[in-house]
């Protein structure tokens, strides 16, 4: 049995939500979707299971031909847990992928904007003969990203 659902957004919790939002705007062309968020109070506590929760942030429209309502939600909580070390094989949320025209130059743009290299650029051939060139990088706060480009 399947529920009637529509994908809406992916959320990143940031140490500095404004700086991280600027990175995604500058590097990937994401567009702010007003209003900025500033939530606190008993309803937020009830929803998050936290006491005294306060979050601020914004949504960014993602690039590409997809539904214009799909966003990247970047929030900051006043109290943050420690971030575990970056690992591409950690169970749970893995990465966000962006299709780009040129993987090496896009990787360089990410690095120049404060991102981090995770692995090397490689090209793999799929069983149908197409080739995908890709690499992993991380945004300035250590969230894993994939840059990919497909060819015949």
- Give the strand pairing for 9-13 and 71-77: parallel
Whether 33 contacts 58, CB under 8 Å:
yes
Domain with CATH 3.10.180.10 in the chain: 96-151
Per-residue confidence at 41, pLDDT binned at 50, 70, 90? very high
- For residue 37, pLDDT over 90 is answered with yes
Residue 89 has pLDDT above 70, yes or no: yes
Given pLDDT bands bounded at 50, 70 and 90, which one contains residue 66?
Answer: low
pLDDT at 42 > cutoff 70: yes
**Residue 28, phi then psi, degrees to nearest 5:** -110, 0
Domain 96-151: CATH class, spelled out: alpha beta
Q: At 127, is the pLDDT very low, low, confident or very high (cuts 50, 70, 90)?
A: very high
Q: Averaged over 41-70, what is the pLDDT? A: 90
pLDDT at 110: 98
Residue 152: the pLDDT is: 80
Q: Name the pLDDT band for 1 (thresholds 50, 70, 90).
A: confident
Structure tokens at 49: 């299971």
Average pLDDT on 107-114 reads 98
Return the pLDDT at 147: 97
The pLDDT of residue 4 is: 83
* Environment class of 72 (CB within 10 Å of its CB; exposed 0-12, middle 13-18, buried 19+): buried
The C-alpha atoms of residue 152 and residue 135 are separated, in whole angstroms, by: 18
């Amino acid at each position: 049995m399947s529920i009637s659902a529509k994908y809406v957004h992916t959320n990143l919790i940031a140490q500095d939500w404004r700086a991280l939002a600027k990175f995604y705007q500058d590097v990937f062309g994401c567009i702010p979707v007003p209003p900025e968020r500033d939530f606190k109070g008993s309803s937020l506590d009830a929803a998050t299971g936290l006491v005294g929760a306060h979050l601020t942030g914004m949504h960014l429209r993602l690039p590409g031909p997809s539904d214009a309502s799909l966003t990247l939600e970047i929030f900051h909580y006043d109290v943050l847990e420690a971030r575990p070390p970056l690992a591409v094989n950690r169970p749970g949320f893995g990465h966000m992928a962006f299709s780009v025209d040129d993987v090496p130059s896009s990787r360089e743009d990410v690095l120049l904007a404060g991102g981090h290299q995770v692995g090397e650029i490689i090209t793999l051939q799929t069983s149908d003969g197409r080739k995908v060139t890709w690499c992993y990088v991380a945004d300035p706060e250590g969230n894993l990203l994939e840059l990919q480009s497909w060819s015949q």
